[in-house]
């Protein structure tokens, strides 16, 4: 039987084109394992910032697959957020989208207030929203510096603070988790790898590292777990120029010992594990999910 004729979305057709390139050039492709079926997060309430694209989208869907109800935060493109809500709902989760700019204190506070009204509480916060505004240091404007720091670092502070207020107020819910709450910060390999031309971005992720560890140290006695995921190169819109052509992809592979780009689902699985009691003794840690990018690949052939 012929398949019905449908127009592929531009995103899908671009992605399938890329996979064709990789096949044709015999370059390694990602393995796409099935989503988790183990409902390790059943009954838990999660909020993912910047969840209508890339990594945030994959994390929201992975949490829903694992049994969590999910708030899909977005700042633009409500239709993309609604698609994530639909996909999460298909997993049997409750989900809704909430527009809030993570830089804005009042919008963040209103988002948490609504979540507590809608879902009763929060168990898992994933601080994912982030962006780049790249320029050589001598051409970087103060506005570009400030904007990246505001979204990538202040946004994580504002959301963490609201989540921790609720975790401390509520305490442990034994029926869903042995921790009183979990914060997962989306960092980057650039919390440790300097990045010329991206000074604002690297500074923001270096800041996330010590913000995460300091909060972790402070709230540990309350049984609140705080950790980071540090992705390497993941196939999302943020870095399309690094993987969008076969030439770019080949260059990128020089930085990745495991010789494949990461997929958003690689991060989704790490986030589910960090949110679950399976990782209960992991605290104040950065989990690098980077195919070995932090292994100094330039030394592969000797130093
Ligand atoms: P993306 O551009 O696909 O997604 C970023 C998301 O953040 C979008 O949904 C965007 O709307 C949202 N966002 C931006 N500003 C916001 C604001 N003010 N308020 C609320 N949401 C806002 O990029 P991505 O690759 O999925 O990036 C997600 C996170 O992962 C970022 O923190 C990024 O720094 C980090 N990261 C990505 C990579 C990678 O290779 N893709 C590597 C390391 C770290």
Tell me the pLDDT tens digit for each residue of 41-69. Answer: 999 999 999 999 999 999 999 999 999 99
Index of the ligand 1 atom closest to the CA of residue 127: 32
Average pLDDT over residues 211-234: 98
pLDDT at 16 over 80: no
Phi, psi of 185 (to 5 degrees): -95, 130
Most confident of 13-17, 251-255, 296-300: 251-255
**24 within some domain:** no
Question: Which of 47, 48, 56 has most ligand 1 atoms within 8 Å of CB, for mutation?
Answer: 56
Residue 55 domain boundaries: 38-236+264-292
As a whole number, the mean pLDDT across the chain is: 91
Q: What does the alpha-carbon distance between residue 235 and residue 238 come to, in Å, rounded to a whole number?
A: 8
Q: How much distance in Å is there from the Cα of 172 to the middle of ligand 1?
A: 30
Q: How much distance in Å is there from the Cα of 127 to the middle of ligand 1?
A: 10
Positions marked active-site: 201
**254 within some domain:** no
Average pLDDT over residues 137-158: 98
State in Å, rounded, how far the first CA of the chain is from the last one: 58
Q: How much distance in Å is there from the Cα of 6 to the middle of ligand 1?
A: 30
Q: Is the CB of 184 under 6 A from ligand 1?
A: no
Give me 196's structure tokens. 């010329």
Predicted confidence at residue 38, as pLDDT, reads: 84
Nearest CA among 261, 249, 250 for reference residue 289: 261
pLDDT at 178 over 50: yes
Average pLDDT over residues 204-227: 99
**219 within some domain:** yes
Contact yes or no for 274/282 (Cβ under 8 A): yes
Nearest CA among 39, 44, 40 for reference residue 180: 44
**281 within some domain:** yes
Percent pLDDT > 90 in the chain is 85
Q: Is the CB of 11 under 6 A from ligand 1?
A: no
Q: What is the model's pTM? A: 0.91
3-state class of 214 per DSSP?
Answer: helix
Predicted confidence at residue 33, as pLDDT, reads: 55
Predicted confidence at residue 149, as pLDDT, reads: 99
**42 within some domain:** yes
What is the β-pairing status of strands 124-127 and 95-99? unpaired
**30 within some domain:** no
**250 within some domain:** no
Average pLDDT over residues 213-233: 98
Nearest CA among 156, 154, 178, 179 for reference residue 167: 179
Number of structural domains in the chain: 1
pLDDT at 150 over 80: yes
Q: What is the CATH number of the domain that holds 161?
A: 3.40.50.720
Q: Is the CB of 84 under 6 A from ligand 1?
A: no
**29 within some domain:** no
């Amino acid at each position: 039987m012929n398949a019905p004729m449908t127009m592929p979305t531009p995103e899908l057709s671009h992605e399938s084109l890329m996979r064709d390139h990789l096949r044709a050039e015999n370059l390694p492709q990602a393995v796409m394992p099935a989503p988790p079926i183990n409902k390790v997060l059943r009954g838990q309430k999660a909020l993912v910032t910047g969840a209508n694209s890339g990594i945030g989208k994959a994390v929201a869907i992975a949490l829903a697959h694992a049994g969590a109800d999910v708030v899909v935060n977005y700042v633009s493109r409500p239709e993309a957020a609604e698609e994530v809500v639909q996909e999460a709902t298909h997993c049997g989760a409750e989900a809704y989208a909430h527009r809030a700019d993570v830089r804005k204190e009042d919008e963040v506070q209103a988002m948490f207030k609504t979540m507590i009204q809608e879902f009763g509480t929060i168990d898992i916060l994933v601080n994912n929203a982030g962006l780049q505004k790249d320029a050589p240091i001598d051409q970087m404007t103060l506005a570009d510096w400030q904007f990246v720091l505001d979204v990538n670092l202040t946004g994580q502070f504002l959301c963490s603070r609201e989540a921790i207020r609720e975790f401390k107020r509520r305490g442990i819910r034994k029926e869903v988790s042995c921790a009183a709450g979990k914060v997962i910060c989306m960092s980057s390999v650039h919390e440790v790898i300097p990045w010329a031309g991206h000074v604002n971005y690297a500074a923001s992720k270096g800041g996330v590292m010590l913000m995460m560890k300091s909060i972790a140290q402070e709230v540990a006695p309350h049984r609140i777990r705080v950790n980071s995921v540090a992705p390497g190169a993941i196939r999302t819109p943020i870095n399309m120029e690094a993987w969008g052509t076969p030439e770019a992809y080949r260059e990128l592979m020089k930085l990745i010992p495991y010789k494949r780009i990461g997929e958003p689902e690689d991060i989704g699985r790490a986030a589910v594990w960090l949110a679950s009691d399976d990782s209960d003794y992991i605290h104040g840690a950065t989990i690098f999910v980077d195919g070995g990018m932090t292994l100094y690949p330039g030394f592969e052939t000797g130093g």
